[in-house]
């Protein structure tokens, strides 16, 4: 039983639905996995509707598993022992398995029809072998606490494993175009970026800061948040735009209750311009229906109205705050998001922000500003951070 070869089996699911385009999705997923594992010494092989990670140092196994847990498009993985498809070799190995629960079952999959025993018969036979070598355990076919999977593959080898680890699912990043994420330092927007990347979208980001009203810490917090979601989304170009003069101009010239609405209409204009310049195909925000005054359907109607050519995706629109926070904890952004640095939106916060803004009133207030000049100025000085 020496020299057991450990491998990691990677399964994917949704991309099977892709019909003719399956090859494109599979290749993208394989490349994303290879890139993620490039820090390890190992091989990633494509087999029939699965990938296998092989030839890695046992000491790296946990780290490789953890890295795979961040790749969208993988539905589950298993650490398996890879054996030659040979009755004696498989029987010998299975006889060494120690069952740590009260009951178990064996599930044989016979993808290689040349194997001489049917899967049902072989499951029974292997179950008998395990019973002989483990006292005080019984077989439970319906609710087993442990399942020993014996997967007899087409190409002459057999994989044996007991654990199936659920992964993130979703689609491989890079298969659904690219978007521009409006990234604040809050809880919601990093989660929104994560959710869109989960559907295969490549993510780039835009952050507005209001130095000196907001501190360098606020900016660094956003860079840090982008660094955390990068683990899932892959590399991000973070564009940082100064919003200071725009906020000052609105504050000076316009009805204070409209501050947030007008700010957001300008943010969206800048976002669309930048996205069109860079070829990003949509705008993504962390907006959430009813969460604050700027996120009522009326507010979103007047902010939406300035974006002409691109869709705005709000993947969190129907989520409860608690659900969003739970995802933030799971993906590791929560603790950074709650650091208490001022966001540019909070600096000039009106006492009574308008909840149901009317478009005519927005237009009237905006006519007091030279919006194009303000936007040109903001866009002439964009800092880009490669995350
Ligand atoms: P978040 O937790 O993402 O900050 P929020 O609940 O604080 O969201 P708002 O401040 O109204 O809500 O912002 C709504 C959305 O607008 C954010 O999710 C984000 O996409 C975008 N946004 C807000 N402030 C900024 C900013 N300074 N830079 C870039 N985008 C921003
Ligand atoms: Mg915010």
- pLDDT tens by residue, 323-374: 999 999 999 999 999 988 776 656 677 778 888 888 999 899 899 999 999 9
Could you give phi then psi for residue 35, rounded to 5 degrees? -65, -45
Which atom of ligand 1 sits closest to the CA of residue 337?
2
By the 8 A CB rule, do 1 and 45 touch? no
Q: Which ligand is nearest to the CA of 196?
A: 1
Quick one: pLDDT at residue 13? 78
Q: How far apart are CA 226 and CA 313, in angstroms?
A: 18
Quick one: pLDDT at residue 212? 86
Residues 6+ apart with CB under 8 A from 241: 206, 207, 208, 209, 270, 274, 378, 379, 381, 382, 383
Quick one: pLDDT at residue 340? 84
Q: How far apart are CA 190 and CA 199, in angstroms?
A: 15
Q: How far is the CA of 161 from the centre of ligand 1 (A)?
A: 45
Q: How far apart are CA 75 and CA 212, in angstroms?
A: 46
Quick one: pLDDT at residue 15? 66
Quick one: pLDDT at residue 135? 87
**Nearest CA, atom 24, ligand 1:** 184
DSSP labels, 62-74: HHHHHHHTT-TT-
Pocket test for ligand 1, best of 288, 345, 350 (most atoms within 8 A of CB): 345
Residues 6+ apart with CB under 8 A from 274: 180, 206, 239, 241, 280, 379, 382
Quick one: pLDDT at residue 216? 87
Whole-number Cα distances in Å, 21 to 4, 30, 218: 37, 15, 43
By the 8 A CB rule, do 268 and 307 touch? yes
User: Ligand 1 pocket: which residues have CB below 6 Å?
Assistant: 182-184, 186-189, 206-208, 285-287, 291-292, 294-295, 343-345
Give Cα 113 distance to the centre of its chain: 38
Report the SS3 class of residue 241: strand
The pair of structure tokens assigned to 234 is 């892959």
Q: How far is the CA of 43 from the centre of ligand 1 (A)?
A: 41
Pocket test for ligand 1, best of 186, 238, 313, 320 (most atoms within 8 A of CB): 186
Residues in the chain, pLDDT under 70: 1-2, 14-19, 291-293, 343-347
By the 8 A CB rule, do 199 and 176 touch? yes
Quick one: pLDDT at residue 350? 78
Count CA atoms closer than 13 A to 207's CA, side-chain side.
31
Q: How far apart are CA 36 and CA 191, in angstroms?
A: 21
β-sheet bridge partners, residue 104:
139, 146
pLDDT digits (tens, 9 = 90+) for 69-104: 999 999 999 999 999 999 999 999 999 999 999 999
Residues 6+ apart with CB under 8 A from 372: none
DSSP-derived secondary structure letter, 315: T
Quick one: pLDDT at residue 16? 63
Quick one: pLDDT at residue 48? 80
Report the SS3 class of residue 258: helix
DSSP-derived secondary structure letter, 170: S
DSSP-derived secondary structure letter, 199: B
Could you give phi then psi for residue 38, rounded to 5 degrees? -65, -20
The pair of structure tokens assigned to 76 is 């589950």
Pocket test for ligand 1, best of 180, 182, 319, 324 (most atoms within 8 A of CB): 182
- Give the total residue count for the chain: 387
β-sheet bridge partners, residue 179:
203
Quick one: pLDDT at residue 344? 61
Q: What's the CA dihedral at 161, 163, 165, 166 to 10 degrees?
A: 100
By the 8 A CB rule, do 53 and 7 touch? yes
**Nearest CA, atom 30, ligand 1:** 182
Q: Nearest CA to 209 among 118, 341, 316?
A: 341
């Amino acid at each position: 039983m020496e020299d057991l070869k450990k491998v990691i089996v990677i399964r994917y699911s949704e991309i099977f639905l892709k019909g003719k385009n399956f090859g494109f999705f599979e290749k993208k997923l394989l490349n994303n996995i290879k890139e993620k594992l490039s820090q390890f010494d190992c091989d990633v092989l494509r087999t029939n509707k699965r990938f296998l990670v092989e030839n890695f140092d046992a000491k790296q196994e946990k780290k490789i598993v953890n890295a795979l847990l961040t790749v969208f498009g993988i539905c589950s993985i298993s650490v398996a022992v890879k054996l030659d498809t040979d009755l004696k070799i498989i029987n010998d190995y299975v006889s060494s398995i120690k069952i740590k629960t009260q009951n178990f079952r064996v599930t044989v999959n016979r993808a290689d029809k040349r194997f001489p025993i049917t899967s049902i018969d072989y499951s029974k036979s292997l179950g008998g072998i395990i019973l002989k070598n483990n006292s005080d355990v019984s077989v439970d076919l319906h609710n087993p606490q442990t399942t020993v999977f014996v997967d007899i593959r087409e190409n002459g080898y057999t994989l044996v494993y007991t654990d199936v680890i659920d992964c993130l699912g979703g689609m491989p990043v890079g298969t659904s175009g690219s978007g521009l994420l409006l990234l604040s330092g809050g809880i919601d927007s990093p989660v929104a970026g994560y959710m869109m990347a989960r559907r295969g979208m490549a993510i780039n980001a835009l952050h507005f800061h209001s130095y000196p009203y907001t501190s360098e810490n606020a900016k660094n917090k956003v860079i840090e948040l982008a660094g955390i979601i990068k683990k899932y989304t892959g590399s991000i170009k973070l564009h940082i735009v100064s919003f200071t003069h725009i906020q000052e101009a609105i504050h000076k010239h316009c009805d204070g209750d409209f501050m947030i609405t007008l700010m957001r209409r300008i943010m969206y204009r800048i976002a669309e311009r930048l996205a069109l310049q860079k070829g990003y195909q949509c705008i993504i925000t962390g907006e959430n229906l009813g969460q604050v005054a700027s996120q009522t359907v009326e507010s979103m109607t007047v902010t939406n109205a300035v974006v002409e050519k691109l869709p705005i995706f709000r993947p969190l629109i129907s989520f409860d705050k608690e659900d969003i926070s739970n995802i933030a904890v799971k993906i590791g952004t929560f603790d950074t998001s709650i650091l208490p640095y001022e966001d540019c939106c909070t600096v000039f916060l009106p006492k009574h922000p308008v909840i149901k803004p009317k478009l005519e009133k927005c237009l009237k207030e905006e006519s007091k500003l030279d919006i194009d000049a303000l936007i040109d100025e903001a866009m002439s000085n964009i800092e880009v951070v490669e995350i």
